[in-house]
Chains A and B, each alone.
Chain A
Amino acid sequence: MSSSSTALRELQRDLENKANDLSKLQKDIAKNHQVRKKYTIQLGENELVLKELDLLNEDANVYKLIGPVLVKQDLAEANANVRKRIEYISAELKRLDGSLQDLEEKQHSKREAILKVQQRIQSHQAGKAKA
């Protein structure tokens, strides 16, 4: 009787741990989503900037706002910078996609493990009720 109750307690503890892990995973996934969103918006904006820069004449003045300072920049330089930034952002997005998939898989497996533990608990309780 006592052995079964301790086993039951163990199982419940196990369930709690798994539930915590699952909630952590879910938070990670949510963060991932947010960061992805931000990056996606930035990517869109940078592409827009690139389009406008292409429309500019060669001798037009381009400035970059760094902090409170508006710094004059070369058009070619600005173009190159914007392109680099676009590449960087797309790479980041890919990385985030991969990690998101990982997290989702982990979450899935955690859920299954939790279900199993729950089932074991239920069987234990049913056995206890019979005895």
Chain B
Amino acid sequence: MGKPEVKGTVTSLSSVFPPEEMQKAAKMVEGKLSEKQNEMNQLKEFIADNTSLINLVQKLPDELHHDIMVPFGKAAFFPGRLIHTNEFLVLLGESYYADRTAKQTVEILKRRGKSLMSKVDALKAEMQDLKAEASFFDSTASEVADDLVEIREYEEDNSTERVSQSGPVELESPSVAEADNKVSASEDDEYARLMSRLEELEKEELAAEDEDANANATETETDSDEDELTEAAFHRKKVEGYSSLDHNQRYLVSQPRKQLQQSKGKDPMNEEMSTTYNHQDLTNQLACTGLTAEPVTKGNYGGECEISRGRIVHQDTKMLNPPVNASVPSEKTSLKQIIHDSSRNEKPVQTPKSEFDSSKAFTGSIIEHTENLEKKLPEQKTTSSQSSDSKPSKPVSRFKMQRK
């Protein structure tokens, strides 16, 4: 498997945030929070006192004098009068007093109230910060208790990081890494199965090719099969069931997608990996058939890029291309010994389509070919085979030519 290099670190949260320290930190934050709460309560009391005082100061000048019970010492009162009701000795601060009227006193008090409010706001902001800290500590403490592990993976290409956490038992979040842990085990098995199936199909193809070399009718069928295979590779449409190859192809198409939810951790990457695996298998198949392997593979890559609708990161396909290309030629060379279809490889990329199209007409053209031959025979004086060779328009005839 051509894996792009994935570097990663796995750190258990308990090593980064030891549980004891977490608890200590949480307690500290709680203590600070309670302190701030006390301060806040005190300030609120001050503000309440201030407002009541303002009300009193505003009410006093309504009368010239008030009859009151004057406190005397610790535990005594005596009846008295409050005079000069508009004169207030206001404490300015730092043991400084000033004579002021009621209005002026109220103004002073209001200014004091404002400063108190600003202090309260500052305290509130601090408390919010502390609360955020406390919640963070709580969450990490719980995570550490659950033995969660932090997995960090680095992609070589885009240098992006993806931090994922997976619990040994719990499924906290539907992260892909979790699915990977479950699926990766089955993935290898399925891959092994796929490869064995591929080999079987290769053998079948070889057998089919050998048969084709002998008979015409079967030859046309396999040709059409091959054409249809390439067609399916391009369009991923349902292939007409000519041979088991098609079935296997469909099997390949569906399987890799399920199992290749790779531990790459990116969904576009997943799809792209599945597509590349797909055409890797297909190209292997096609290489076995010896069919226009090289141009078809190239065509496949181009086709795959189209199919995936631009989600393929071309870098990654390129990375996969070398290994695939390496494998394809090797298989091809081994099969070439058996099947000599060198001329087929000369076909350009677009011909598979035309091959496919012609294959439909092909079934009809068999008859035409013989008819043409019959027609030409009386016309030409040269050998009939050569005359048949001279037919350029129909690729079918070229196949026939090669066989002969």
In angstroms, Cα B240 to Cα A3, docked, is 96
A45 to B95, CA, bound (A): 10
B99 touches A82 (CB 8 A): no
- Stretch touching chain B among A7-15, A61-69, A99-107, A119-127: A61-69
What total of A-B pairs shows CB separation below 8 Å? 46
Q: Does residue B78 face the partner (Cβ distance < 8 Å to A)?
A: no
> Once the chains are docked, how many angstroms separate the CA of A82 from the CA of B100?
19
A65 contacts B93, C-beta separation under 8 Å: no
Cα–Cα distance between A84 and B74 once the two chains are bound (Å): 38
- Specify which of B92, B93, B97 is in contact with A70 (CB 8 Å cutoff): B97
Interface string of B79-112 (1 = CB under 8 A from A): 0000000000100111111111000000010000
B93 to A45, Cβ gap below 8 A? yes
- Interface size range on B against A: 10 to 19
Q: Closest residue of chain B to A65, judged by CB?
A: B95
Given B93, B96, B108, B115, which contacts A62 in the complex, CB threshold below 8 Å? B96
Q: Are A49 and B99 in contact (CB under 8 A)?
A: no
User: Known contacts being A52-B92, A52-B108, is A64 close to B98, with CB within 8 Å?
Assistant: no
Q: Quick check: B94 and A53 within 8 Å, CB to CB?
A: no
Q: Once the chains are docked, how many angstroms separate the CA of A53 from the CA of B104?
A: 12
A82 touches B96 (CB 8 A): yes
Give the distance in Å from the alpha carbon of A55 to the alpha carbon of B210 in the complex: 112
CB under 8 Å from chain B, chain A span 40-78: 42, 45-46, 48-49, 52-53, 56, 60-66, 70, 78
Cross-chain contact B95 with A64 (CB below 8 angstroms) = yes
Q: Which B residue's beta carbon lies closest to that of A46?
A: B94
Closest chain A residue, CB of each to CB of B112: A48
Cα-based distance from A66 to B94 in the complex (angstroms): 11
Q: Interface size on A (CB < 8 Å)?
A: 19
Q: Please give, as numbers and ranges, the residues of chain B lying within 8 Å of A64 by CB-CB distance.
A: 95-97
Residue A52 contacts which of B89, B93, B95, B99 (CB distance < 8 angstroms)? B93
Q: Name the B residues within 8 Å of A49 (CB-CB).
A: 92-94, 96
Q: Determine if A53 and B97 form an interchain contact, defined as CB atoms under 8 angstroms apart.
A: no
Q: Which residues of B sit under 8 angstroms from A45, Cβ to Cβ?
A: 93-94
In the complex, chain A residues whose CB is within 8 Å of the CB of B99: 60-63
Residue in B closest to A62 when the chains form the complex, CB atoms: B98
Residues of A within 8 A of B108 (CB): 52
Query: When chains A and B are docked, how far (Å) is the Cα of A82 from the Cα of B93?
Result: 10
Quick one: which of B94-142 are within 8 Å of A by CB? 94-100, 108, 115
Question: Which 5 pairs of residues, A with B, have the shortest CB-CB distance?
Answer: A65-B95, A49-B93, A61-B99, A63-B97, A45-B93
Residues of B with Cβ closer than 8 Å to A? 89, 92-100, 108, 115
For the complex with contacts A45-B94, A62-B97, 18 further pairs of A-B residues with Cβ separation under 8 Å are A45-B93, A46-B93, A48-B92, A48-B93, A49-B92, A49-B93, A49-B94, A52-B92, A52-B98, A60-B98, A60-B99, A61-B98, A61-B99, A62-B99, A66-B95, A78-B96, A82-B96, A85-B94
* 18 A-B interface contacts by CB (under 8 A): A45-B94, A48-B92, A48-B115, A52-B93, A56-B98, A60-B98, A62-B97, A62-B98, A62-B99, A63-B96, A63-B97, A63-B99, A64-B95, A64-B96, A65-B97, A66-B95, A70-B97, A82-B94
